[in-house]
Structure 1
Amino acid sequence: MSTAAPSLDVPEAESSKNAPSAVKTPAAPRSSRAKKVFPALLAVAAVGAGARWLVTHGHESTDDAQVEGRIANVSPRVSGQVAKVLVSDNQQVKAGDVLVALDATDLEAKLDVARADVLSAEAQAANARSQLALTEVNAGANLRQARGGVTQASSGISSSKAALDQARADVVAAEARFKLADTDLTRVKTLKAEGAVTQADLDARQSAYDQSKAALDVARARLSSTEAGVQGSSGGLEAAQGKLAAAESGPVQVQAAEAAVKLSDAKLKQAQAALKLAELAVSYTQVRAPVSGVVSRRTVEVGQVVGPERPLMALVPQDDVWIVANFKEDQVGEMKAGQPVDVEVDAYGSHHFKGHVDSLAGASGARFALLPPDNASGNFVKVVQRIPVLIRFDDVKDVPLKPGMSAVVTVDTRSR
């Protein structure tokens, strides 16, 4: 007995799935094209990477760079009230130009006082020099006069002593004659009483006695006078010696006069120094530009009372600028001073500046932070550090570069 096979209705979709030859035939061309295109793309990528490596090899670049320059803060050197402001913001000035004028009335009055003090000190110095010259002359004259007086007094004493000896000898002689006359008179008187001599002989002996007595009195008086003269000469010698001692102190007086001259000269120099300071203070009322540059951050106005403690404005020189580029630490291994640098400043994107590496900083920028990192404390997270590199321009005369401008720098590290 035959059994008929059941008939199954199969959808067309399933039948189409079950027909492999009819569905997979279009996929074969796509696979072949991918096999051909993918190697070509890999080749192009490899060539591009190789070309890029060839172009960038030996060159280190960073956009963490900016133009730097010096900024000179202008402050007055004396306190005072602002009388004039002679510049405006962003004005170009030259070194030595007057920027601000202060009221100088008080300082000019002090200058007049200083000048008067100098004149007074000069007069005192001239007077001290005159006194020195007069003291030197008087000291020499007094010393010579005193020495002459001592010599004269000494001679007078010697003469008086000789006269005293003579007077004493005269007294001795007069006493001898008087004694002889007295003896003769006594003898004659005895003989007269006996009638042996005449009255004339007695009168002659009496006259001789009177004469010898008078001569003795005169000799004694001369002796007393001579002795008084000797005492006077001794007093004169002592006086002359006292004058000589006083005259010999003349060098001390000269030294005192010289000290007075030095003191007056010192006071004169002090007054002249005060005058110089007063003149400088008056000149400082004209606040001048220390350097050539552009006026920036001007805060001064007429009528303000200003002092050295507060800047009035800032001057930014335009002819002294450089680049500070912060390279990663793995970029500076081959950098050396003198290597050429290509600089692109954002403000002048189409302009390429030429420069060279001037120097590398001694430490990373993080070491100069207010709170430098300390990897020995807490958890450690490695962060790539930045090393500041100073780059000098070779020539930027035609392009005004401003400090603070951003830049992109590329260093040719292949150059040695």
Structure 2
Amino acid sequence: MSTASPSMDSPNHDTSKTTPSLVKEPAAPRSRAKKVLPALLGLALVGGGARWLVSRGHESTDDAQVEGRIANVSPRISGQVAKVLVNDNQRVKAGEVLVELDATDLEAKLEVARADVQSAEAQASNAQAQLSLTEVNAGATLRQARGGVVQASSGISSSKAALNQAQADVVAAEARFKLADADLSRVKTLKAEGAVTQADLDARESAYDQSKAALDVARAKLASTEAGVQGSSGGLETAQGRLAAAETGPVQVTAAQAAVKLADAKLKQAQAALHLAELAVSYTKVRAPVDGVVSRRTVELGQMVGPERPLMAVVPQDDVWVVANFKEDQVGEMKEGQPVDVTVDAFSGHSFKGHVDSLAGASGARFALLPPDNASGNFVKVVQRIPVLIRFDGDAQGLALKPGMSAIVTVDTRSN
């Protein structure tokens, strides 16, 4: 009974030795953890401080992309495509022909316009000649009419003088006739009494006959002179009428000048129509507006096209920039001219230098199709983005930067 159990005497089962060893084993890891955690915390603080010092005065964003001009190419006129001279992604020069339209109808219209111009030129030349002729004839006709009036007036004066003379001649002839008649009556009386001879009677009868004939001639001449006076009066009226017609010469000249202006206007109209026809023919050749690369080509041979639909786009490769959308709390210290570092995803090993060109006048949300209206409904504050335009400082133009490439932008706001 006094014999002890082998298990109790065995050294492998000594509780005094085994129990303390189980309690003291975790002490080493805990002490190491107490040393590592402060070290990691200090390293994090140092790293964070270093990062803060390095990033202090710098604002960065990855919400940025390369931008550039895109020139949409559309025809100026409607027509059928006759030739397509370029392919997608082909480089072209400004003014290079990209597409040709069928110009058959337009060339026919051009010939018609040329014929109209020739006709209008002939009409203008004829109107100018008529103006010159009217100006010359108007002056000459007026002078002739005035001379005719003077001549007719002189004729009337001459006729009146002749009339007065004819009337005097009639009076003189009547006096001689009366004298001859009285002499004949006395001689007849004396002959009946036998106081005169037959020869005296014959002489008186002859004188009577002569005076009577002279009276008839004078009266006839008076009648003719009176008719001449009336004719001269009619000639004066005619001359005055011609003068009145000739005095309308300035009006005729004015009308001829108006005809010249009308012909010139028609000529200019025809020339304008010709110019439009020439432009229409030239528009059948669709040319590149700028140097660049052909993109998004949709035109095909035989297709009907019009100004309302672009045929392709030409993207210039020598004028690119970056638009970076910074948060509104990042742009407070940004100013024009501040230096910028730009990293483009396509050229991750290359950093481009640039500068802030300008800041947008409003946030991007203001230009949305449906801008948010915080006055309606529940308000939830959203940090807005302000577009910032960044220009490269020259070294980026030689690389194949293309609009739409993603970029990372860092602005040094410490610089003024």
Matches within 5 A, 1:204-283: 204-283=203-282
Distance 2:182 2:286 in 1: 121
What is the aligned partner in structure 2 of residue 137 from structure 1? 136
Distance 1:111 1:200 in 2: 110
What is the aligned partner in structure 1 of residue 400 from structure 2? 400
What is the aligned partner in structure 1 of residue 148 from structure 2? 149
Contact map agreement 1:122 1:268 (CA 8 A) in 2? yes
Question: CA separation of 1:109/1:209 partners in 2, compared to 1, >3 Å: closer, same or farther?
Answer: same
Compute the displacement of 1:341 (Å): 0.6
Distance 2:187 2:205 in 1: 9
Contact map agreement 2:82 2:301 (CA 8 A) in 1? yes
Which range moved further: 105-114 or 25-34?
25-34
Compute the displacement of 1:26 (Å): 6.6
The CA RMSD over aligned residues, in Å, is: 2.3
**SS in structure 2 at match of 1:241:** helix
What is the aligned partner in structure 2 of residue 415 from structure 1? 415
Identity %: 83
What is the aligned partner in structure 1 of residue 314 from structure 2? 315
Distance 2:238 2:30 in 1: 148
What is the aligned partner in structure 1 of residue 289 from structure 2? 290
Contact map agreement 1:150 1:241 (CA 8 A) in 2? yes
Deviations along 1:389-411, whole A, 9 cap, x unmatched? 11111111321101000000000
Contact map agreement 1:16 1:23 (CA 8 A) in 2? no
The count of residues paired between Structure 1 and Structure 2 equals: 403
Contact map agreement 1:328 1:386 (CA 8 A) in 2? yes
Give structure 2 stretches of 5+ with no counterpart. Answer: 1-12
Question: CA separation of 1:216/1:78 partners in 2, compared to 1, >3 Å: closer, same or farther?
Answer: same
Matches within 5 A, 1:5-20: none
TM-score by length of 2: 0.91
Matches within 5 A, 1:181-192: 181-192=180-191
**SS in structure 2 at match of 1:367:** helix
Distance 2:309 2:259 in 1: 46
TM-score by length of 1: 0.91
What is the aligned partner in structure 2 of residue 304 from structure 1? 303
Question: CA separation of 1:147/1:71 partners in 2, compared to 1, >3 Å: closer, same or farther?
Answer: same
Deviations along 1:119-142, whole A, 9 cap, x unmatched? 111111112222222222222222
What is the identity, as a one-letter code, of the residue corresponding to 2:341?
D
Contact map agreement 2:155 2:232 (CA 8 A) in 1? yes
Deviations along 1:142-191, whole A, 9 cap, x unmatched? 22222222111111111000000011111111112222222232233333
Compute the displacement of 1:377 (Å): 1.1
Distance 1:264 1:89 in 2: 52
What is the identity, as a one-letter code, of the residue corresponding to 1:382?
K
Question: CA separation of 1:64/1:198 partners in 2, compared to 1, >3 Å: closer, same or farther?
Answer: same
Compute the displacement of 1:304 (Å): 0.9
Give structure 1 stretches of 5+ with no counterpart. Answer: 1-12
Matches within 5 A, 1:87-102: 87-102=86-101
Which range moved further: 124-133 or 362-371?
124-133
Compute the displacement of 1:202 (Å): 3.1
Contact map agreement 1:365 1:388 (CA 8 A) in 2? yes
Compute the displacement of 1:48 (Å): 2.1
Distance 1:311 1:45 in 2: 57
Compute the displacement of 1:333 (Å): 0.5
What is the aligned partner in structure 2 of residue 368 from structure 1? 367
Contact map agreement 2:152 2:235 (CA 8 A) in 1? yes
Which range moved further: 324-333 or 390-399?
390-399
What is the aligned partner in structure 2 of residue 342 from structure 1? 341
